[in-house]
Amino acid sequence: MSPEQPLDAHQATDKEPQLNKYFKAAIKTMANDIHLKVGQPPKLRIYGELKNTTGEVLTAERMEQLVFEIMSPAQKEAFLAQGTLDFAHEVGREHRFRLNVFRQRGMISLVGRRVSAHVPSFEKLNLPPILSKIAESRQGLVLVVGATGCGKTTTIAAMLDYITKTRSCHIVTIEDPIEYLYNDNKAIVSQREIGLDVPNFEDALTYLMRQDPDVVFVGEMRDAKTVTAGMRAAETGHMVMGTMHSSNASQAVHRLLDLFPTNERELVRQALATSIRAIVSQVLLPSIREGSDRIPAVEVLLATPAVRKLISEGREADLPAVIRASQREGMQDLTENLCKLVQDGWIDPKDAYKYAPNVEELKMALKGIRTTAEGIL
């Protein structure tokens, strides 16, 4: 679990922070990330590539000045004690950055991820329509998995925004930090930020059920306590969403179980088989279409009786084959999605091969040859 963050999380000031000029450069260039390190000029990640800027070479003194200017006194105290701090920073009313400030070799560094102040729709993100059906679920655990920076939080944001517009319910989010701001619509949304509204995830989860939630977003499934609370809520009639760092659905099951001691894993496996609703795995690729910088390739596993049976029996290795055999039911195979993105002119085949689970299968799919999954169950 991450260290507790200070409760007075955001520093209010009438003067625009000097750091904002770097954030504005990231906004102007459509960069996804900004890196600030002593001895280097600011660097921007654009279309997945880290690029130098013509900005000043940052000194240790300059970094302290820039970073401490946007911290509250309590945040500064926590950072000096812990050596790392996560928080959000807004630039105007339209732009928001998720920041991690940390020490390395005794000096301060900062990495900022640009997030939109407006929640994009499924269509805008080029996500499969089945996600709206998943979002309509009344209970169960939904995991969105993938590597760092692949858009997991944005995908969940689109699902939560869809729920706010289509269902009368109470959504509770527990975030570190808050990245997207949701408007009350048909649903009301209570967003709790670690450090600002509650000291830590454990306390937030302890009192979660007293807040009468219908839908819960618990951020990253980072430890056994978070997973246990999420599955318990899913089993008692709530829809629970979370993220994990994992390359696909099969690995997500393994990683989730690995959070628990060996003697508890079988019980957790059975609970997961019962509570899981869907696992969405995605990668983010450079787009070759004009007007689009990156596009997700998505794998979708739905918790059919066959899938629950495989998870219960410890046969996660067979899940990819079930996905390929169940696309008429709404599941989506990553290789098939990569193939479609190439054929529709969204991505370069070379990029598709880099992210394909099996390059030979993708080559066959692009030639119109499909594999089957008979005899698995």
Say whether pLDDT at 375 is over 60.
Answer: no
Residue 115 C-beta-side C-alpha neighbours within 13 Å: 27
**Is the pLDDT at 372 greater than 60, yes or no?**
no
How much is the pTM?
0.81
pLDDT digits 0-9 by tens, 116-145: 768 889 999 999 999 999 999 999 999 999
For residue range 285-323, list pLDDT tens digits in order.
999 998 788 899 999 999 999 999 999 999 999 999 999
Instruction: Report residue 104 as tokens.
Output: 């390395």
Q: 220, exposed or middle or buried, with CB in 10 Å at 0-12, 13-18, 19+?
A: middle
Range 195-212 average pLDDT:
87
C-alpha 246/C-alpha 244 separation (Å) is 6
Q: What are the φ and ψ backbone dihedral angles of 122, each rounded to 5 degrees? A: -55, -45
How far apart are the C-alpha atoms of 97 and 114, rounded to whole Å? 5
* pLDDT at residue 377, as a whole number: 43
Residue 194 has pLDDT above 90, yes or no: no
Encode burial over 161-184: b for 16+ CB neighbours within 10 A, e otherwise. bbbbeebebebbbbbbbbbbebee
User: Which amino acid type is present at position 149?
Assistant: G
DSSP 3-state assignment of 240? strand
pLDDT at res. 13: 52
* Cβ–Cβ < 8 Å for 308, 338: no
Q: Which amino acid is at 11?
A: Q
Q: What percent of the chain has pLDDT over 70?
A: 94
Which pLDDT belongs to residue 152? 94
Q: Which domains does the chain have, with CATH numbers?
A: 20-115 (3.30.450.90), 122-366 (3.40.50.300)
Q: Provide the pLDDT confidence category of residue 15 given band limits of 50, 70 and 90.
A: confident
